[in-house]
Amino acid sequence: MKTTIKKGKTDFKLAMVLLFPSLFLLLLLVAYPMFSNIQISFFHLPINPRLDSTFIGLENYINILSDIEFLKSLGLTVLYTALAVGGSTVLGLLVAIFFNRPFMFRKTARSLIILSYVTPSISLIFAWKYMFNNSYGIVNFLGGDVFHLFKQAPLWFDNPVSSFILVVIFAIWRYFPYAFISFLAILQTIDSSLYEAAEIDGASAWQKFKIVTLPAIMPVLITVITLRSIWLFYMFTDVYLLTNKVDILGIYLYKTAFAFNDLGQAASISVILFIILFIVIIAARKRVNFNGNG
């Protein structure tokens, strides 16, 4: 009995020694910045580190929550996230269902599908800006000179409405391969005899999807939607490089911190975003547990 206890203590010490580098990096790179950010949100912090910060309590949060521009940015971000996540998820599922069958050059086609996901964002963004350039872009050339859809070339990324539509389409096209890979992996685990039994019972294609496919992919579906919502809710790079007409929260936060030099309000914005996403994650986890997969 003594030997067992001693061995257990030894294993625990060894485990802690092996985990220490990871725990130290986690505390240094995640926990410390997070608590430091929360602390900054209660101060008026000047850019110049030589100047003293001033404790102002909840003033930053009150100012942000009462700022109409923040609320507009929040609404725009929610709409952007909903459209991009919904579009990329549906497109990824449809393509995964189409590719979940044998056909010639299937592996090559799958490799081509994920190119938009593995290619660096900067290359894709400048390719899109080149395509939609009002002077020499291929889109305006085809739409104006070839098909005569419009007389004057639209300024795609200079108009708020068209800019928003394009950044949503870009996000759907850019990130649907993630959903495609996830759904294709789970679709290949579904027993084909279930589809055969449903077909014998006279089930239509939609009924087979609803009865067999949807319950099987539900855990993956919830995971894909949750993770992609988190990533797109914090989106900055893609939208910022594509256009300056779409002020989603990532760009609004950036402008607050570095254009208006208000680090305290920027920190309070990030805390508010964290709370929103935390609620979303908890709700999604409860939904997964409800489906028996938590």
What single string gives the DSSP state of each residue in 46-80? -SSTTSPPEE-TTHHHHHHHT-HHHHHHHHHHHHH
For the chain, give every domain's residue range. 67-290
- Whole-angstrom Cα Rg for the chain: 25
Distance of CA 270 to the CA centre of its chain: 16
Cα separation, 272 vs 280, whole angstroms? 13
Residue pair 245/158 in contact by the 8 Å Cβ criterion: yes
| Cα separations in angstroms, 282 against 17, 78, 166, 226, 229 | 32, 18, 31, 10, 13
Fold of 67-290: MetI-like fold (1.10.3720)
Q: What are phi and psi of 54, to 5 degrees?
A: -120, 125
Digits of tens for pLDDT over the chain (294 positions)?
Answer: 455 555 556 678 888 888 888 888 888 888 888 888 899 889 988 877 777 888 888 899 999 999 999 999 999 999 999 999 999 999 999 999 988 887 788 788 888 888 888 888 888 998 998 898 887 888 888 888 788 788 787 888 888 999 999 999 999 999 999 999 999 999 988 888 888 888 888 888 888 888 899 889 988 998 898 889 888 988 999 999 999 899 999 999 998 888 888 888 999 999 998 888 888 778 766 665 555 444
- Residue with token string 């990096």: 25
Please state the pTM of the whole predicted model. Answer: 0.84
Element (H, E) at 288: helix 263-290
Tokens found for residue 205: 């294609």
Nearest one of 69, 48, 47 to 264, comparing CA atoms: 47
Estimate to the nearest angstrom the gap between the alpha carbon of 69 and the chain centroid: 22
Q: Residue 269 and residue 221: Cα distance in Å, rounded?
A: 29
Burial class (CB in 10 A: 0-12, 13-18, 19+), 9: exposed
On the CB side of 60, CA atoms within 13 Å amount to: 27
